[in-house]
């Protein structure tokens, strides 16, 4: 049954709310081990309980759990939002999510290992250069910028995994190159994610309802816009090459005809 007018608009709004909330719940369920440790860490920091050793232990737990939980769950979430952004909104969220989870688990897990290691190394470098080596603060600032670029490249990493059939090495390489080559899209993704994170900090319950899914939608929307632009450029280049080949063929044919005419004279 199709509703029209205000009733139809209200129905579509509630439908989208349920889609986003359900996909977000699936993501949270698949990330439960990591999220439990993260919540525990936040509670301990907020209450002032637990010493440095406990915090270090929790950091290790987060680093170990992230590649095996959050990264595959996020890849599955991007599988769902990819369908939505591309206009296929009638797919089964549950089936699409776990299909993406299964198909992309290995690549997303390996990517999680690499990204986690890089983040740990860069975080340690930033901390050391910014707090303990005052003469090398510029190096710390540079590492901080690289950390931000690396963080944004994760969005392209997930988008490429669910959109292309590439080897793992190609996925990582292209996600970083695309981040560097399209700074405007990178900036818009960063701003969109930052706004959603800020709203989530004001209303923490939204993290369990919609924030991760909305961030994924913003990230894939920007990626897909970049993808379409690149496709147009490729098609335009092919068309120009085809026209050049046709022009060259016509020129060769004309020259050949001129030679034949000269022979008959």
CA dihedral 180, 186, 187, 191 (to 10 degrees): -150
Asked if 171 contacts 164 with a C-beta cutoff of 8 angstroms, the reply is yes
CA dihedral 153, 158, 159, 165 (to 10 degrees): 120
Asked if 154 contacts 108 with a C-beta cutoff of 8 angstroms, the reply is no
The predicted model scores a pTM of: 0.83
Alpha helices in 164-210 (DSSP H): 168-181, 183-202
Q: If we measure between CA atoms, which residue out of 149, 147, 194, 146 comes closest to residue 175?
A: 149
Q: What is the pLDDT along the chain (265 residues), one digit of tens a residue?
A: 555 666 667 878 888 899 999 999 999 999 999 999 988 888 888 777 767 778 788 888 999 999 999 999 999 999 999 999 998 888 899 999 999 999 999 999 999 999 999 988 888 888 887 777 767 778 778 888 888 888 888 999 999 999 988 888 888 888 888 888 877 888 888 899 999 999 998 988 888 889 999 999 999 999 998 888 877 877 777 777 777 777 776 776 666 665 666 566 5
Taking only the tens place, the pLDDT of each residue in 166-213 is: 888 888 888 888 888 877 888 888 899 999 999 998 988 888 889 999
Taking only the tens place, the pLDDT of each residue in 235-256 is: 777 777 777 777 776 776 666 6
Asked if 89 contacts 83 with a C-beta cutoff of 8 angstroms, the reply is yes
């Amino acid at each position: 049954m199709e509703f029209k007018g205000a009733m139809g608009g209200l129905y579509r709004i509630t439908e989208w709310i349920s889609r986003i909330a359900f996909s977000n719940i699936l993501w949270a369920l698949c990330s439960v081990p990591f999220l439990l440790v993260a919540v525990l860490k936040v509670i301990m920091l907020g209450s002032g309980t637990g010493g440095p050793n406990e915090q270090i232990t929790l950091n290790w737990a987060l680093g170990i759990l992230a590649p095996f939980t959050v990264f595959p769950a996020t890849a599955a979430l991007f599988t769902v939002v990819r369908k939505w952004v591309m206009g296929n909104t009638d797919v089964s969220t549950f089936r699409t999510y776990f299909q993406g989870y299964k198909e992309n688990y290995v690549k997303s897990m390996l990517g999680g290992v690499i990204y986690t290691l890089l983040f740990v190394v860069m975080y340690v470098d930033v901390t050391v250069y910014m707090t303990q080596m005052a003469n090398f603060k510029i190096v710390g600032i540079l590492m901080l910028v690289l950390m931000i670029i690396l963080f944004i490249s994760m969005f392209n990493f997930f988008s490429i995994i669910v959109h292309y059939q590439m080897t793992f090495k190609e996925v990582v390489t292209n996600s970083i190159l695309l981040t560097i080559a399209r700074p405007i899209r990178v900036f818009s993704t960063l701003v969109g994610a930052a706004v959603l994170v800020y709203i989530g900090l004001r209303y923490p319950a939204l993290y369990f309802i919609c924030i991760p899914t909305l961030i994924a939608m913003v990230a894939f929307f920007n990626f897909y816009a970049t993808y379409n632009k690149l496709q147009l450029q490729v098609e335009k280049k092919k068309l120009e090459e085809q026209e050049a080949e046709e022009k060259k063929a016509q020129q060769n044919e004309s020259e050949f005809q001129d030679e034949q005419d000269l022979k008959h004279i």
